[in-house]
Structure 1
Amino acid sequence: MRIPLRALGVTVASAALLTVGLTPAMAADGHVYSRVLTYPSGGTSGGESDADLNFTGARSVTYNNWTINDTCPGDGYRVIGRARALLTNGAYAYGTWHEDEGTCESADWGPYSNLELNTSTNIVKAGVEICVDLGSSNKCSTSYRDNPHT
């Protein structure tokens, strides 16, 4: 039986497209960056956090090269950050709060690597939450990456 060359080409191209179609989901590991400003009216004081995320399964993510930075000019408020993940049941999982201790002139918290967030429920997406601690409340911002395992 002879297979026409054109049919073989369509089959190969279709298989290639299916393989490429899986690539974006596998590329979900990577960098996240989040910034929060102390004052909504402008200025640069506040905080920022960034990390490289590596999803190691449906229920776990590892944070690498993670930093938290209090940005200048100094506003007198501390900056805190933590790992945060949205779970398939709609709830959130959180890591421990970390602080950039000192002023905006001090060194960043980190970089830290191999910090894991493990949950008992599948993770839809994970990221970093950065907050300015205003005393009576926190002003926060969060950035996420999708989990390719869910």
Structure 2
Amino acid sequence: MKTRILGAALGIAVLSGLLVASPAQARDGVSSARIDTARYGGGSVRATVDFVNRRKVVFRNFTVRDLCPGDNLPVRARAWWRHTDGTNGYGAWKSDTNGCGDDGTNFGNITRRSTKPIAMVWVEVSVYIRPGERTTKISKTRDNQYN
């Protein structure tokens, strides 16, 4: 009797474990990149990545922020994606031109629909380190769990 109860409890525990999010389900989430320069401030980009299916991804609350000290030069950022065939694409630059405020500029949702399956995405931020010269940083990639 005890063996049957133990076996049933173990079976329920195993089945319950199947309902917990697996790593393949955890691929959506926040992507961000940040640059801090000693002399010219810096910048950051942040978005919540939401893969909808094999060919569609939404970058939710795509936010670009200029970090102090202010240099009166814009910070810009954009979204990137890689298709399953190895080709890359990217969105338009979005710039925070409001100075180094606390919130930056939120561009809302940026949706990418493609005729080819999207394998992974990332975000990129670019700041001036001196007039005419920029430095760039990218986030870690996020894989599309539908591929």
Secondary structure in structure 2 of the residue aligned to 1:26: helix
Look up the match of 1:34: 33
2:77 and 2:50 map into 1 onto residues whose CA distance is 18
Of 105, 114, 117, the residue aligned with 1:119 is 114
Gaps of 5+ in 2: none
| Residue 78 (1) aligns with residue 70 (2) | no
Secondary structure in structure 1 of the residue aligned to 2:23: helix
Contact 1:93 / 1:119 at 8 angstroms: preserved in 2? Answer: no
Aligned pair in 2 of structure 1 residues 16, 104: CA closer, same or farther (>3 Å)? same
| Residue 140 (1) aligns with residue 136 (2) | yes
Look up the match of 1:64: 60
Look up the match of 1:89: 85
Aligned pair in 2 of structure 1 residues 102, 113: CA closer, same or farther (>3 Å)? closer
1:56 and 1:136 map into 2 onto residues whose CA distance is 39
Which is further off, 9-18 or 124-133?
Answer: 9-18
1:142 and 1:66 map into 2 onto residues whose CA distance is 14
Q: Aligned Cα RMSD in Å?
A: 2.8
Aligned pair in 2 of structure 1 residues 85, 133: CA closer, same or farther (>3 Å)? farther
Which residue identity does 1:35 align to in structure 2? R
Q: Give CA-to-partner distance per residue, 1:50-72, whole Å, 9 cap, x none.
A: 11111111121112122100110
Which residue identity does 1:27 align to in structure 2? A
Contact 1:54 / 1:61 at 8 angstroms: preserved in 2? Answer: yes
Aligned pair in 2 of structure 1 residues 16, 113: CA closer, same or farther (>3 Å)? same
Contact 1:80 / 1:133 at 8 angstroms: preserved in 2? Answer: no
Deviation at 1:75, TM superposition (A): 3.0
Which is further off, 51-60 or 72-81?
Answer: 72-81
